[in-house]
Every structure is written in C-alpha cells, then in structure tokens.
Chain A
Amino acid sequence: MKTLGRLEPTPELFSLPELKNYLTESHTLSSWLLTTDHKRIGLLFLFSIGVFFTIAACAAAAMRMELVTPPGDLVTSETYNKLFTMHGVLMVWFFLIPSIPSVLGNFVIPMMLGARDLAFPKLNLLSWYLFNIGGLLALYSIIFGGADTGWTFYEPYSSTFSNTHVVTMIAGVFIAGFSSILTGLNFVVTTHKLRAPGLTWFRLPLFIWSLYATSVIMLLATPVLAMTLTLVGVERLWGVGIFDPKLGGDPVLFQHLFWFYSHPAVYIMILPGMGVVSEVITCFARKQIFGYHFVAYASMAIAIIGFLVWGHHMFTSSQSIYAGFVFSLMSYFVAVPSAIKVFNWTMTLHRGSISFETPMLYALGFIGLFTIGGLTGLFLAALGLDVHLQDTYFVVAHFHYIMVGGMVTGFMAGLHYWWPKISGRLYPERMGQLAALVMFIGFNLTFFPQYILGYLGMPRRYHAYPPEFQLYNVMSSAGASILGVAYLLPVIYLIWSLKHGRKAPPNPWHATGLEWQTNSPPIKSNFEATPVVTGPPYQYPTEEEREMVHG
C-alpha cells in the first residue's frame, strides 16, 4: 500500500527505463490530435496558449514602443486601439483563463486525485478543439483588420459605431467560452467522483481546492458572457437589441452583464495561481501549510464573494450610488479571504527550512506582487478615490500586478515545479533562478511606474500623452524589454532540457502529493495501481523531526 509519505523505492521503479510512458506510448500525429489522455491534452493546451501569448505579447511590445515618446509617432490612434484590443482579448481569453487550469490543471488534477483520467476525457479533447477554433476566429479578426473596442466590447460603440471586425472577435470569445465551461465541468465532476480511496475533501491538495473554486466560476459566469456577447453580435448584425439607447436599450445593462462575468473571471485568473503557490510554498519551506482549512475555504469564499462585486467596475456609470455603496463594501470583503491566504503562506514560511529553487522564487514573487496588486485594488474599491483613478494607468498597473505579477508568475512557478513530471527531465536550475529574478525586476520596472502615471492622471488607452509623463513611460517600456527577455529564457532552456536536461527521478523535490508517487513522466494510466491515501496532505517533517536529522 502506498502512503503519502516519502517515496519508498519499489521494485517497479527499478524497471523504469523499460516502461512506456505517456509520451512514448505512441508517436503518430493522430495519437496526439485524437488523444483523450489528460496529460497529452494538457500539453496541447500548453502549445496553443504559448502561441497566443506570443502574439499578444507582441501587441504589448508595440504599444510600449509607441509610448516611449509623447506624440503618437509609431502607430495611428486607430492602430493603437486595435493593438490594445488584440492584447486584451488574447491575453484574457486565450492565455490567462486557460493557462493554469487547462495546462497544469489538466495535467496534474487526475494525478493528485489518484485517478486515471478526468471524468469526461472526450469532452476534454473537445475543449481543446473549441479553444483553437475560437482562437483562430479571433486571429482571423485580427489579421483582416482587427477590432478596436477594447476587450470589454462596451456598448453601444461595439454594436453601432465601430467599423472593425467585432463580430468575428466576439464569436471567437464565445466559442472559447465553451471550452472553458467544459474544462470547469470536467474538473468539478472529477473532484467529486474520481478521488482515490481515502482521499477525503480535507485531504485534498490546496491546488485542487483552488481549481474547484475556479471551475465553479467558469461554469456559472461564462454562460452569461456567452449570451451577452451573442446579444451584442445580433445588435451589430441586424440593428435590433436591448443595449443601444437608440433602440430604446440600456448600455449600462450591458456593463452589468459583462462584468457579472468579467469580474468573477478575474478570479479565474488568480485562484489557480494561488493553488500553485500553496503547493510550492509548502514543498520548499518543507512545512505543512499553516491553516489548511482557512486556505481551502478562502478559495471558495473568493469564488462566492467574487460574484457579488461586479459593480465596482461601474462606479462612474449611471449605476445607483446606493448600489455603488454595496459593491464597494463587498469588494472590501473579498480582500479578506485573499489576505487570509497571504497570511497563511507567510506563516508557512515562518521557521520553515526554506530553499530557493526556481518554483519557490516565483512563488515568493507571487506573494509580493499579488499583495501589492491586492492592496492597490482597495484604492479602486473606494467609491470616492475610484472616481479619480477610473480609466487611468493606475487601473492598468493594478490588474497587471494581479494577472501578470500573480497569475503568470504562478503559472511559471507551476510549470517549473511540475516540469520534471511533465517532461521527465530537469531544467537547468541556475538558469531558472536567473530568469525568475529577471522577471521580477522587469515586471516591477514595467508596471510600478504605471501606478504613478495613473495617480498623476494619465488615462489608459491613449497612444499619445503630455511630455511630463515621459520619464515614467520610458521606465515602463524599458522594463517591458527586460520582461520580454525573462519570458524568452524559460522558453529556450525548457525546450533545451527536453533533450539535454538530466533525467528526472519520480520525486525530484521530495514533495508530498500523489502526482509525485508515479514515474516521471507517468505512464498513460498514471498509476500502476490505484493509490490509497491514509493521511492529510503536506506531511513534511515537523520541526522536531528536522532537528533530529540535522542535529
């Protein structure tokens, strides 16, 4: 019987080289494109989101180049509008939302649960195809002229006034939404029904809790976006609808429906990162998580309260001021579970035996950047202050701290943490640490000046600005180029490691968790025999045990 403790060498591990793993199982193209193996689908997603991330990052690079000088001299304002729309749409729906769930979640959730696959493997594959169809439609829209509405598709501009490819862009997002729904559905059912014997809810790794909460949001918020965007499309195509005031409609209703999805979607873009951090912090502090139940419940609380705060995007719309009060208050409430998580991670570090491998560096970066992003979110949740900061670079900086500083950093932490499991190879540790540091520096240099810019009143979404803002803009653009290098480095050394990296043992980090009890890379059905769980997660040695070992 296998337990959650440190791995005991078992006879089958010694016959490791002869075993076929999920990568060597078969080599044909169709064995990849028609696979129902969650691990392969995770890799397919990794490839797809990598492509979309690169394109969206190029749009960001173009914008930062434009903003080096005050006048709009590199691109026209129309092009600039299309650039930030492209950047926003691709990054939100085609990178951030599927990033950790569809890649890492797909890969490790069944293994963490001791299952052979997700509950609905074919739906999982369908999810990847829908994602790519949606992405191709969005790319079609971009290549044939782009859309200029911003990722928010605000009415009535998006339906009546914009002369760009809004409908194909919307259709792309609509279809990708169903990919997200199917992924969420799969995760929820798998977590409920496919847990290994003995794996009770409070023995689940916190990554599972956070992705469960994420899935609930995906399932309940995404359909609202789908229908809202459908209505925008109908209004645009046939000139009938309920949003354009000219037709007797209400554009603020659009904003309500849009943010009813899009605010919870922000939590789709941060909760999975929190899950990764909980795994990584415990592993590299070699300590049990502090306050397991609080961290688990905090994920659910964020998901639930996250549904009740959307109006804080609309303080300057015609929304009732009393509604504004409530939304402001609820937004402060959502800070509570977020803060609980940060406190608990910090307490986990306290008196831990910490080592600074790459995943840990990223995870520590996450905590810092997420805290800054979260605290500046409180500024924006304040009714009076938000009127000053609404639609300035302060907002841009705030959500980039959460989404890039938080989610992308979390994604990098997770990708490095599980890379030995995914590829069967170790990445070069020094290079990884270097990239993590460069990313932290580049990120802060890019986005911290934007807080100041926003506070000074520079509005977002403009390609020209008064000369007094130039210093901060140059700093930001310089930071962006450093950030670009920091993203390129892992791409290079991770691909390099596929061939030249050292072979990874089953559990290179000596981590707990069922995914480390199987080979690296795992066999197609993950486990030789269904594991049995006998204790809580994160059973790292206690302080006394460590002292006994180290004297």
Chain B
Amino acid sequence: MSKPKVIVIGAGFTGVATAHDLALRGFDVTVVERGDICNGTSGRTHGLLHSGGRYAVTDQESAIECVDENMILRKIVPQAIEPNGGLFVAIDESDLAYAEEFIEGCNACHIPIVELNSKQALAMEPNINPKVIMAFTVPDGTFDPIRLALAFAATAKKNGARFRTYTEMEQLVIDGQGNVKGIKIWDRARDTHAELDADLVVNATGAWVGEIAAHAGAHVPINPTPGVMVAYDQRLVQRPINRLNKPGDGDIVLPQRRMMVVGTTSYEVRNLDYVPVIDSQVKLMLERGEELVPGISKTKPRGVFTATRPLIGSGSSGRSIARTFKCFDHKETDGIGGLITITGGKATTLRAMAEKTADMVCAKLGIQAVCITKDTVLASYRDFYPNN
C-alpha cells in the first residue's frame, strides 16, 4: 500500500515541526510555503525559549507546555539554542506583591526557580536596574529562529519530506461533496502553476489560517495580534530579563548574539501581509526596557520589527487570550473533509503542536504510528539547503 499523502501549507515553526513528525510516522509529506523557511511570524520572534515563568500565574496550561517543551528542545536541537537561563526581576512594590503568586504558579507548573536577593541579582546581571528588590532564576533561553526551523525542516527532508518553497497555495481543490482533495499552487520562483493531490491538507499558516481555511468555506476563530520589537546594538545582559509581574508591554529584554531585543506590544491589524511599525510603540519599548536595563538608552536601535501572533479566540483581545494552541478538524467544525488547521501556540511549543496535529492526521487516515519526536535528535540545519 502506498503511503498516505499529506500536504502541509506553511513552513513556519508549526509547519516544519509537523512535517518532521509526519515524515517520521511514515507519511508522504509535501510542504508548500510561499516564501522561504520562517518568513512570516516565526522568523520575527524575539527568540525567547520560554521557561513558562511568564505564564505561570495567568495561563498555567501554556506555562506547563512551555517548560516541558523547553527541556525537550534543549535535548533535540541544541544547535539552535543558547541555554543562558533567565531572571524575573522585581523593581517596584507592585512587582514585589506579585512574587507570592509567581512562586505558587511556578511550583504548580513544575518550573524550577531560585530566589535571589538584590545583591545576588546584581552580581549576576550588573546592568539591570540597581533598584532591583528581588529576583528569581528560571530556565529561559535564547533560540535562533531560522536555525530552529531549518533543523526541523532538514530532518523532515532526510526522512523523505519535500519542501516547495516560494510556492503559494492559490486554491484548495474541492470535490463534489465539498471535501478538500488537494491544492493548486503557483511556483513563484519559476512562475509555473500545478496541482497537487492529497489525502489530507494541514493548514499550518499561523496568523493566516483564517484566510487559507476560507478558501474551503471553513472558519477558524483566529485573532492575528501583532507586536513591536526593537533590537539594540549592544548586549548588556547575558540572559533574558523579565519583569516580575503580569505579562505586559515591553517587559522582556532578551540577549541575542551581540544585541538586546526588547519586546513586545499587542495590537490588532487588518492586512497581515504588511504590518507597519507604530512609532509610539517603539518609544514605549525604550521606556519600558529602560526600567529593566537602564543602559539601553545609551545604545542604538539596530532593527525595529513587528510579528503577528496567531492567537486563538474570539471576543476578548490581546493579552487576555491564552497562548496555548489548538487543532481544528474541519469535518467536525464545518462539515468539510480533508482539511485540518493547527494554530496558536508559541515557538517554544512547536514540537508539541506538531505531535497533536500528527495524532489527528493519524486518527483521520486510520494510521497507527506513535510519535517519537521527543527522543529524535535533529539533523544539522545546514543539511536543508540546497532545496529542490
């Protein structure tokens, strides 16, 4: 019997990790991506490998996903991770008041933390705000976005997956009963058109899942929520510095190579293909970043960028939406067969998102195959190219 054919649309974090999982489970996998690897939201992450500390009070489901996946990624893709740890710092009384909830939350989510006094925190990070009252160490890290994705893609390719980059999905091919049977594609590099058939199409397009699903008349409750980040040209801290408080704007300063990245904000947009930078938010990043690392004002902005998070939900907006992920079987939600959508989540949880998606693919196509991605060390990201 020939292998069941699965098309994955999108080669961001979710798409490449799903392709990797499906290839290991024996599927015939084709990934279709309109740009190159990681050219949407995934590339434009600040690169924080979450310990889960950020969500330990407000969103414990996400926090547990983060800490568990953080530990797995350190094992399977050390080539893309700087395992530098992280600090949550209390600067004012409101932060201090949050400490008790934070400790409880971290304990409930098995996130290992160590409490530091002001002197210990400043010895560890001499450039943080000298007003620091207390701090906690957490197992945060910094990851390299493109190389994280390329390592998954390279491993998927070794296991037989094909990657059609610079290839845009033009249409879903739909049969007489309204079920998805394949896709029509436009190869933008060669300017050619073709049709690919599939037993199942996985929509892994992040913030764009609503637009793709709409081609089949399906609906996904997605709230694309951009945020601004600013990279500064000096590295004044050696590990991510988080504000010890509820998640808010500009409350993370992250070291990335010889830079620092301050993030982020939260707003709403209409056109996802080009999200403009909002000046007032850039200013806000500097002000808020300075509260954590006062020396930022003496550094120069090096890059200003936006990324659009794929948050799931409806009604509520921005910060209040959970950061967890969800897989939708459009047979159940819209009566449309042959199409599933995976979205939401965070870079840190890419592998878990892929596992859940591949489980659903297996269930829908009647395939018995277990997930082994937790224990599969990834190939070198450098094996991905040349592609095609």
Q: State yes or no: do A and B come from one complex.
A: no
Which B residues are within 8 Å of any A CB, using their own CB? none
